[in-house]
Amino acid sequence: MPILYDEKSNTLTIVTDHTSYQMQVDAKGYLLHLYYGTRSAGCMDYLLTYADRGGSANPPAALGDRTYSLDALPQEFPFQGAGDCRSPLLRVRDASGAFGCDLRFSSFRIRDGKYSLPGLPAAYDEEGDGAQTLSVILQDPRLGLEVELLYGVLPRLDVICRSAIVRNEGKGALLVDKLESACLDFVHGELDLICFYGRHAMERIPSRQRVEPGSRLIGSRRGISSHQYNPLLVLADRMTDERAGRCWSLQLVYSGAFKAEVERDQYDQIRAQMGLGEEAFSYPLDPGESIVAPEVIMSFSAEGLARLSQQLHEVIRTRVCRGYWRDRERPVLLNSWEAFYMDFTGEDIVGMARQAADLGIDLLVLDDGWFSDRNDDTKALGDWWVNEEKLGCDLGELIRRVNDLGVSFGIWMEPEMVSEKSELFRAHPDWALAIPGKHPVLGRDQLVLDLSRTEVVDALFEQICSLLDQGNIEYLKWDYNRSIIDVYSHGARDQGAVPYRYMLGLYGLLERVIARYPTLLIEGCAGGGGRFDAGMLYYTPQIWCSDNTDAVDRLTIQYGSSFGYPSSAVGAHVSACPNHMNGRVTPLATRACVAMAGTFGYELDPKRLSKKELDTIRGQVQDFRKLSHLVREGRYWRLGDPQRDAVVGWEYVSADGDEALVCAVVLRVEANEGMRYLVPCGLTPGATYVERASGRYYPADALMDMGMPLSGARSLYDSVQVHLLRCDGVADIKEGTRR
- Kindly report whether the peptide bond that precedes residue 284 is cis, defined as omega within 30 degrees of 0: no
**Nearer residue to ligand GLA within complex by CB, 117 or 525:** 525
Does 527 participate in binding ligand GLA (rule CB under 6 A)?
yes
State the nearest-atom distance from the C-beta of 547 to ligand GLA, in Å: 5
- Residues 421-460, one symbol each (x = binds ligand GLA by CB under 6 A, - = not), give ----------------------------------------
x-marked contacts with ligand GLA along 377-406 as a string, rule CB under 6 A = x-----------------------------
Q: Pick the binder of ligand GLA from 525, 595, 660, 722 (CB under 6 A).
A: 525
- Identify which of 146, 168, 164, 150 has the alpha carbon closest to the alpha carbon of residue 284: 168
Q: Which is nearer to ligand GLA, 528 or 564 (CB)?
A: 528
The question of whether 327 is a catalytic residue gets the answer: no
Question: What is the rounded distance in angstroms from the CA atom of residue 193 to the CA atom of residue 216?
Answer: 9
Q: Which of 360, 359, 352 is CA-nearest to residue 335? A: 352
Which position among 367, 533, 623, 658 bears the catalytic label?
533
Scanning 38-46, 109-117, 521-529, 579-587 for contacts with ligand GLA by CB under 6 A, the matching segment is 521-529
Count of Cβ atoms closer than 10 Å to residue 716 Cβ:
14
Cβ 412 to ligand GLA, closest distance in Å?
Answer: 5
* Greatest CA separation for the chain: 85
- Beta strand extents in 408-485 (DSSP E only): 408-413, 417-419, 446-448, 473-478
Burial class (CB in 10 A: 0-12, 13-18, 19+), 139: buried
Does 547 contact ligand GLA by CB under 6 A?
Answer: yes
Q: How far apart are CA 415 and CA 464, in angstroms?
A: 8
- Decide: is 368 part of the binding site for ligand GLA (CB under 6 A): yes
Question: Measured between alpha carbons, how far is 405 from 358 in angstroms, rounded to an integer?
Answer: 9
Minimum separation from the CB atom of position 647 to ligand GLA (A): 30
Radius of gyration of the chain (CA): 27
Window 243-272: residues binding ligand GLA (CB under 6 A)? none
Footprint of ligand GLA on 564-593 (CB under 6 A)? none
Told to check if 550 binds ligand GLA by CB under 6 A, we report: no
Establish whether 533 is a catalytic residue. Answer: yes
Which is nearer to ligand GLA, 263 or 479 (by Cβ)? 479
CA–CA gap between residue 150 and residue 486 (Å, rounded): 33
C-beta of residue 154 within 8 angstroms of C-beta of residue 295: no
Closest CA to 162 of 143, 144, 177, 184: 184
| Single residue of 528, 560, 634, 642 touching ligand GLA by CB under 6 A | 528
Give the shortest CB-335-to-ligand GLA separation in angstroms: 7
β-bridge pairing 159-168 and 145-154: antiparallel
**Minimum distance of ligand GLA from residue 400's CB (angstroms):** 24
Nearer to ligand GLA, 557 or 630 (CB): 557
337 is an interface residue for ligand GLA by CB under 6 A: yes
> Toward ligand GLA, which CB reaches closer, 413 or 647?
413
Q: 10 Å Cβ neighbour count for 273?
A: 23
Distance CA 464, CA 458 (A): 10
Stretch that binds ligand GLA, among 254-262, 388-396, 524-532, 576-584 (CB under 6 A): 524-532
Q: Is 367 in the site for ligand GLA (CB under 6 A)?
A: yes
Instruction: Give the binding range for ligand GLA (CB under 6 A) out of 87-95, 152-160, 220-228, 520-528.
Output: 520-528
Burial (CB < 10 A; 0-12, 13-18, 19+), residue 608, is exposed
Rank residues 186 and 532 by Cβ distance to ligand GLA and give the closer one. Answer: 532
Shortest distance, position 200 Cβ to ligand GLA, whole Å:
8
Q: Under the criterion CB under 6 A, does residue 604 sit at the interface with ligand GLA?
A: no
Shortest CB 68 distance to ligand GLA, Å: 53
- Mark the segment that binds ligand GLA (CB under 6 A) among 5-13, 356-364, 522-530, 574-582: 522-530
Which of residues 263 and 414 has its CB atom nearest to ligand GLA in the complex?
414
Distances (CA, A) of 103 to 163, 168, 275, 450: 16, 13, 19, 35
Nearest-angstrom CA–CA distance, 563 and 233 = 10
Asked if residues 231 and 277 have their Cβ atoms less than 8 Å apart, the reply is: no
Q: Which is nearer to ligand GLA, 74 or 527 (CB)?
A: 527
For residue 314, the tally of other CB atoms under 10 A from its CB is 20
Among 181, 481, 719, 721, indicate the residue that binds ligand GLA (CB under 6 A): 481
Q: How many residues bind ligand GLA (CB under 6 A)?
A: 12
CB 658 within 8 A of CB 594: no
- The minimum distance between CB 581 and ligand GLA, in angstroms, equals 11
Considering beta carbons, is residue 317 or 531 the nearer one to ligand GLA?
A: 531
The β-bridge partners of 181 are none
Identify how many contiguous H helices and E strands the chain contains and give both numbers.
Answer: 13, 39
Catalytic residue among 486, 613, 641, 691: 613
Distance separating alpha carbons of residues 78 and 487, to the nearest angstrom: 29
| Identified binder of ligand GLA from the candidate list 76, 479, 553, 605, rule CB under 6 A | 479
Stretch that binds ligand GLA, among 117-125, 182-190, 237-245, 525-533 (CB under 6 A): 525-533
* CA gap 370, 345 in Å, rounded: 9
Indicate the residue whose CB is closest to ligand GLA.
Answer: 368
Q: Which helix (H) or strand (E) holds 664?
A: strand 659-666
Query: What is the rounded CA–CA span in Å between residue 661 and residue 466?
Result: 43
Using the rule CB under 6 A, is 412 a contact of ligand GLA?
A: yes
The residues carrying an active-site annotation are 533, 613
Q: Which residues bind ligand GLA (CB under 6 A)?
A: 337, 367-368, 377, 412, 479, 481, 525, 527-528, 544, 547
